[in-house]
Amino acid sequence: MPKVANEISPRYTRGRYRARTRLRDGFLAATASFNKERKSSKAKLNTRHIGFTGEFKAIYIIEHLMAAVKDLYAAVPKHAKELNYKFA
């Protein structure tokens, strides 16, 4: 899909938690529970929550996975389908 000239693409910020797994895990759990408690997309974590003014933009928190783990996650559904597993 071609981009419109005045369309602004999303910007990504990458953070790294070295040797502070409890801090990272706590942060990921807190953002997940914050968003689960809110039904409306405007109430979920967005730029206004961190002090930006103007139009709000959603903030997505993603834990980066290594390539080997990504491959494993991709292989599991394929393997389950081959073995006719049913998930409830």
CA atoms of 77 and 66, how far apart (whole Å)? 18
| Residue entry with tokens 């809110």 | 38
Closest CA relative to residue 47, chosen from 11, 14, 8: 11
- Could you tell me the pTM of the whole model? 0.49
pLDDT of 88 strictly over 80: no
What's the mean pLDDT when you consider all of the chain?
77
Residues 35-46: tens digit of each pLDDT:
899 988 888 988
pLDDT at 37: 92
Closest CA relative to residue 59, chosen from 49, 46, 68, 74: 46
- Beta-carbon neighbour count of residue 46 at 10 Å? 16
CA torsion angle 20 61 71 88 (round to 10): 110
